[in-house]
Structure 1
Amino acid sequence: MDLGLTDRIAVITGGSIGIGLGVARAFAREGANVLIAARDRERLDQAAAAISRDFGVEAVGHACDVATAEGCASLVAAAREVFGGADILVNNAGTGSNETILEAPDEKWQAYWDLHVMAAVRLARGFAPMMQARGGGAILNNASICATQPLWYEPIYNVTKAALVMLSKNMANEFIPLGIRVNAISPGLIRTPDWVKTATQLTGADKAEEYLQSVADEHAPIKRFGSVEELADFFVFLCSDRASYSVGATYFVDGGMLRTI
């Protein structure tokens, strides 16, 4: 299936590892040029070089912290300077949390709000005019199943990802007259380096796989974690012309983990 992404410009935050890197590689495989953003410059440069080498597209890394207004502004400027704008924005940067509401300080709430919500606001505000000038585009916000079905140990993550879903709906309504489609994705259990790291820390390297399988058995009827590549394919489809009627929706990619309809 031709997704019509050849020579498009895709910007992906949190793009040097895990889901973000998988999404960047999936776009590149379809012929899109990519601008990946993250804080670790060395890892970014390595990831961008590998993408260019493997797929023959232009891949550029930009080191910044999108949890700050300055970092968002620098990414918008980089897209304009390097590619003359962008057609696709994937707001993927984020991380899990671990706290209780009674004990978590205000500063932690604010940090996650800035990373999960304000980054998407600021980047959309910066990229939407460029997309409109180029004839339209797509914005995809990476939320989480926890926005709808929360896990008990990460209330800040649950709340800020739920806010991102609502933000996506409002963005969709506001931006569709500009020719910009906005959607959200709520992944379930996806096997990322963070999950492997957590399992190893909790149980040791020799029992990490057993732990991950127990998590999948408990939460996902499909009885396994999804791969980054499986999820990335769906990201890319939603940002392509093949999904031109998909607007303002949240899509669950969770192996049946969601327990409601």
Structure 2
Amino acid sequence: MELGLKGKVAIITGGSKGIGLATALLLAAEGAEVTIVAREAESLRRSAEQIKEQTGKDALAISADVSRPEEAARAVAETVARFGGVNILVNNAGTSAARPFEQVETDAWTADLDLKLFGAVQFSRAVLPHMRQAGGGAIVNVTAVGGKTPGASSLPTSVSRAAGLALTKAMSKDLAADRIRVNAVCIGLIRSAQIERMWQAKAPELSWDEFAADARHGIPLGRIGNAQEAANVIGFLVSEAASFVTGTSVNIDGGISAVL
């Protein structure tokens, strides 16, 4: 399927590893120009080199704190100066923070919302003039299945992710007239540094494949997913193949969620 991404310009926050990097690689391979944004300069440098080696594209790597509006504005301005505009935004920056309600201090609530919710808000606001100038665009907010079905000891992450879903739906209504589509993906268990740490802590005697397929994870498809599988869905949602899709969320969780 032709995704229609050649010549498009994409910004991916949290783009130096995991789902963000896999998405950057996919979009670059499809012909898009990509900017990857993260805090760690060295990780960004290595990821930009990987994108160049695998796709031939010179990615723009920007070290920035996505929760700060001035940093978001700078990253977008540098992208426009380099590539001439912005067509795609993937709000992927985030960390896992899951504790019981009484253990979450005010500062932790603020930090989580600043990163996961307001980070998406800041970047979305910064790209809107450029998407309007281009005649449209696509935004994908990367959230988690816990935002739909919060469990015990899932705070503050589940609340931040639920807010991201509400943001997605509201933005999709407001921006549809500008031909700017806004969707979300809800991530379940996807291989990451955090999941690998869980593997080493709980079952170091198992190979990765054995751990990923452990029935105790409760995943109907029988295994933990990988970043490429998430990137494939994101790539579709930002592409012309999804030109009539907006205001929706897609679970990338192997069927584990109890809700659509």
What's the TM-score once normalised by structure 2's chain length? Answer: 0.95
Q: Which residue of 2 aligns with 1:257?
A: 256
How far residue 252 of structure 1 moved from its aligned partner, in angstroms, is: 1.0
Partner amino acid for 2:134? R
Partner amino acid for 2:248? A
1:27-176 residue pairs with structure 2 within 5 A? 27-176=27-176
How far residue 7 of structure 1 moved from its aligned partner, in angstroms, is: 1.3
Partner amino acid for 1:224? R
Q: Give, in whole Å, the separation in 2 of the partners of 1:127 and 1:146.
A: 28
How far residue 211 of structure 1 moved from its aligned partner, in angstroms, is: 4.8
Q: CA RMSD in A?
A: 1.5
What runs of 5+ residues in structure 1 fail to find an aligned partner?
Answer: none
What runs of 5+ residues in structure 2 fail to find an aligned partner?
Answer: none
What's the TM-score once normalised by structure 1's chain length? Answer: 0.94
How far residue 119 of structure 1 moved from its aligned partner, in angstroms, is: 0.8
Q: Which residue of 2 aligns with 1:16?
A: 16
**Pair 1:120–1:27, CA change in 2 (3 A):** same
Q: Which residue of 2 aligns with 1:2?
A: 2
How far residue 212 of structure 1 moved from its aligned partner, in angstroms, is: 4.3
Q: Give, in whole Å, the separation in 2 of the partners of 1:19 and 1:186.
A: 12
Single out whichever of 10-19 and 55-64 deviates more from structure 2: 55-64
Secondary structure of residue in 2 paired with 1:90:
strand
Partner amino acid for 2:55? F
Q: Which residue of 2 aligns with 1:218?
A: 217
Q: Give, in whole Å, the separation in 1 of the partners of 2:96 and 2:175.
A: 29
**Pair 1:9–1:42, CA change in 2 (3 A):** same
How far residue 49 of structure 1 moved from its aligned partner, in angstroms, is: 1.7
